[in-house]
Structure 1
């Protein structure tokens, strides 16, 4: 049985008992007056029985019901006993006071226990709510940590993948791909690298964009390039760091973006950027991950630069910057095979500075180095992209003209000779007449062997010198 149902039964019982006792005391008891001793004993029992009704009323109805039943019982019991002439029984009505105090004490103790229990229940409910809230937050933290762990595992994969290649193009493509896969949000991903000569950004790789108009970056990329810190913008139209003109021009292409500088030491070598047409797409956590990818990418790019630089050191002459003879011979062999497969033609020029020793004797060896550097620059700017210029030995320079027949090679050789002769060259404030002699050979006209082609071009060079220098010898 439930406590509420128990209290209802006690309440009904106390009322019924009170009514029954009142009826018996006023109606039945006077009929027993024939036997005086039995009458007084029965009356006393009735008067005392009201104490039961009083106790039950205190238990069920509390202080108001208890006081009401005590007063009613006192009035009914006392008046009933006096009316029946049982004055000795009437004195027993004072026991109601004692019962009332017992009921009051019980009610007070019960009420105090209820209050204590209610407070404990409230505290328990509060603790349960706090625990539930903590559990909910912890679950959210666990989920967030799981997502972070997954992202950092992806970053580990990014770091490992970037170490698998030293090709700059492959690294740029990997950075773009892994940045998009890690952030996993809509938008373009752009990688700009700094052109060290022009000191400006140049687009290196992109994803999610059919065409990029800002090939050299925009005001946001240049801001990162200038300040060297990451940038996040939730809405370009509301960012106070940039002018309204720049914001209005940008919102046609994107509304939110994150940009990270690619740092190598204290030098910025590029910027990595992700933008979206929607506002508020990226978070600070996205920017942190993006910045880590940028740092990893910067290390990989710098390694690629160093590798390329080391390769260049191995195949370039330190004085003139031209290819060295060993590398030239390797490429010459490859080009002969390629030309043979395509039934094409190529030509070889071997060039020597006329009276070079006299410059060294007159002005010193340092001046000879200046002459060689000048000639190297002139030769490099005189040939097409794809042709090859190398320092063949001493003051001799070899030029490999790809896909060039004999007649065309002769015209190019003559234009080079004339350019050197006509351009002024000043040494120690004295104008010098610098000239060159050139020997020419052609594949397949002269030979189909690289050794023979070199031998023929070299012999024609010396023939040009024997014929008076400052000329091209073709046969």
Structure 2
């Protein structure tokens, strides 16, 4: 098998003409070849770096890491590849892209190739540096777009809470988990009192502000492990995981009091609102997720019937809190 041609045997004009960085280092990491691509991006002329250690000019290259990374080149006579997903760059070069580009540094794919002597020894190796900034930004942009689409499919645009469809998917998982485990969880339904009157009096934009205000309060009061969503219109649904109803009432009361004390400003007018809540701790009497949620909804109905601005707890005997 023939050894790969050394850059020393390739005309310098060709090495300089290709749009790829070419660097040859000896086994002590002193620079032997430094092509035009490297000169242009590093602003270092060949005469200023050839014969010198690469680490003296590029502090971003950790010497210990570089020696370990290039080990297979010398020990196994095997190429080494570094892709931008693992490490954005080996040499810290500017992205050299328009102002609108969201990258300040170049993304690079790097290949280290052993240069084998006639006697089979590897005394030097070639580093090839590929500018893959455009490809990397495109891939990152697609990944970001996919994340945004995934978020949009899960989140209610007005409130930032989970939308009904995604909340129900997660609720079904919570129901199955509650059935398998002994730790209690509590479902909570929340509804804005006399919301139609708010819309009729102040307009739908004001109603949206009230909904957003309540959503913000809910976010403040629940934990990251809880599951809060906009169930529809002015109605919200929450699962307080690992929480018996005795603890969930504390959360319900906090949300209720904050709502009562939170004014909403709209076009120079101050809107006051209250909420009603219904709570149902998981019980094996609930044969389905819908049955569990209906228990919380029944407790919410009891709160409405009992005068609003309060919470109620579902019991099988339908006694009100």
1:406 deviation in Å? 1.6
2:6 and 2:187 mapped to 1: Cα distance? 78
* Secondary structure of the structure 1 residue equivalent to 2:278: strand
1:268 aligned partner? 102
1:262 and 1:356 mapped to 2: Cα distance? 55
Higher helix share: 1
Q: Is the 8 Å Cα contact of residues 345 and 442 (structure 1) preserved in structure 2?
A: yes
The answer to whether residue 17 in structure 2 is matched with residue 139 in structure 1 is no
Per-residue CA distance 1:116-172 (angstroms, 9 max, x = gap) = xxxxxxxxxxxxxxxxxxx99883259x87xx8999xxxxxxxxxxxxxxxxxxxxx
Q: Pairwise mapping of residues 305-454 of structure 1 onto structure 2 (< 5 A)? A: 305-444=144-283, 447=286, 449-454=288-293
Q: Is the 8 Å Cα contact of residues 60 and 92 (structure 2) preserved in structure 1?
A: no
1:316 deviation in Å? 2.0
The answer to whether residue 307 in structure 2 is matched with residue 473 in structure 1 is no
* Secondary structure of the structure 2 residue equivalent to 1:367: helix
1:149 and 1:252 mapped to 2: Cα distance? 23
| Unaligned segments of structure 1, at least 5 residues | 1-134, 152-184, 186-229, 239-249, 275-282
1:254 deviation in Å? 6.0
* Shift in alpha-carbon separation, 1:150–1:266, aligned structure 2, 3 A: closer
1:277 aligned partner? none
1:463 deviation in Å? 0.8
Match of 2:138 among 271, 288, 299: 299
Higher strand share: 2
Match of 2:298 among 447, 451, 459: 459
1:474 deviation in Å? 1.2
Q: Is the 8 Å Cα contact of residues 406 and 445 (structure 1) preserved in structure 2?
A: no
Q: Pairwise mapping of residues 212-227 of structure 1 onto structure 2 (< 5 A)? A: none
* Shift in alpha-carbon separation, 1:253–1:307, aligned structure 2, 3 A: closer
* Shift in alpha-carbon separation, 1:409–1:261, aligned structure 2, 3 A: farther
Q: Is the 8 Å Cα contact of residues 262 and 268 (structure 1) preserved in structure 2?
A: no
Structure possessing the higher radius of gyration over alpha carbons: 1
1:437 deviation in Å? 0.4
2:202 and 2:264 mapped to 1: Cα distance? 14
* Shift in alpha-carbon separation, 1:136–1:422, aligned structure 2, 3 A: closer
2:19 and 2:180 mapped to 1: Cα distance? 54
2:242 and 2:97 mapped to 1: Cα distance? 42
Q: Is the 8 Å Cα contact of residues 437 and 469 (structure 1) preserved in structure 2?
A: yes
2:104 and 2:311 mapped to 1: Cα distance? 47
- RMSD over aligned Cα atoms: 4.0
* Shift in alpha-carbon separation, 1:269–1:421, aligned structure 2, 3 A: farther
* Shift in alpha-carbon separation, 1:150–1:261, aligned structure 2, 3 A: closer
* Shift in alpha-carbon separation, 1:369–1:137, aligned structure 2, 3 A: closer
- Count of paired positions: 235
1:400 deviation in Å? 1.7
* Shift in alpha-carbon separation, 1:297–1:457, aligned structure 2, 3 A: same
TM-score w.r.t. the length of structure 1 is 0.43
| Unaligned segments of structure 2, at least 5 residues | 22-26, 28-39, 49-57, 64-89, 109-125, 315-321
TM-score w.r.t. the length of structure 2 is 0.61
1:426 deviation in Å? 2.3
1:258 aligned partner? 92
* Secondary structure of the structure 1 residue equivalent to 2:102: strand
Per-residue CA distance 1:343-374 (angstroms, 9 max, x = gap) = 32222111000111111111111211121122
1:254 and 1:136 mapped to 2: Cα distance? 26
1:450 deviation in Å? 1.2
Q: Is the 8 Å Cα contact of residues 199 and 207 (structure 2) preserved in structure 1?
A: yes
* Shift in alpha-carbon separation, 1:470–1:285, aligned structure 2, 3 A: same
1:262 and 1:461 mapped to 2: Cα distance? 60
Per-residue CA distance 1:192-238 (angstroms, 9 max, x = gap) = xxxxxxxxxxxxxxxxxxxxxxxxxxxxxxxxxxxxxx97488xxx9
2:234 and 2:199 mapped to 1: Cα distance? 11
